[in-house]
Amino acid sequence: MIPSLYFSCESVATDGTAVSSLQSVAPTHFVIAGWTGRDADAIRHHIHELELLGVPAPSSVPLYYRGSASLLTQADTIEVLGMDSSGEAEPVLFFSSGEWWLTVGSDHTDRKVETYSVTVSKQMCPKPIAKAAWRWSDVAGYQDEIELHSRIFEGGKWVDYQQGTFASIRPLVSLRDGCYPGEAPDAGSFVSCGTLTAIKNAQGEGIRPAAQMELEIRDPRRKRSIVHRYAVEMLPMIA
């Protein structure tokens, strides 16, 4: 049985006040949406960025990868094999208590495996996810204003790794409905909704590994944020 995840969930009451609840969610299905950029030029840029790493172009856009629900984790540290993996901050929708909720997660991926099979690479690493969530219906009307940020610990300091808004990503409802059509999917259904381009460092490196990563979504209207930080323990490759 897959362990449950626990979320501090915030919804907005009719009078505008915030209502918090703790929800236990046992993951049942997990889909990772890829190539989800709203701007065609940005998609081509991201495809080119990955092609430089040897990753083949997608067969369709967007593309939905089925992932093992057991990969989702709220642990502060994940273990990966070797030094070739890296994370990507993504908005994540999940279905619980009869409605959809929004949080932030990382599609942590083995980049070496990704060069020969994106599908296999998606199964190689745990997928960190935050411990808080917002009711999706409260923010759906202004989703393009919601900000997505990530930072990595690099060269002894925290540096910006990704930043932008959901306006750069296809509408989340369309991505959700692309893999979970219908009004009421199974409780514990999760979909990771794509990401933003990585900011290059001084060496010109975009997508790159890091020992620590911080994920964040910000709601500028209600002046709130969800932040999750995780460390990466790189296990040795033994021949």
Name all domains of the chain by residue range, CATH numbers in brackets. 23-227 (3.90.850.10)
Residue of 233, 185, 217 whose CA lies nearest to 104: 217
Q: Which amino acid is at 225?
A: S
Q: What pLDDT does 45 receive? A: 78
pLDDT digits (tens, 9 = 90+) for 93-149: 999 999 999 999 999 999 999 888 989 999 999 999 999 999 999 999 999 999 999
Neighbours of 54 (CB within 10 A): 11
Q: Tokens 């409605």 label which residue?
A: 99
3-state secondary structure 211-239: CEEEEEEEECCCCEEEEEEEEEEEECCCC
Extract the tokens encoding 156.
Answer: 């002894």
Q: CA–CA separation, 30 vs 193, rounded Å?
A: 11
Residue of 102, 99, 97, 107 whose CA lies nearest to 222: 102
pLDDT digits (tens, 9 = 90+) for 169-193: 999 999 999 999 877 799 999 999 9
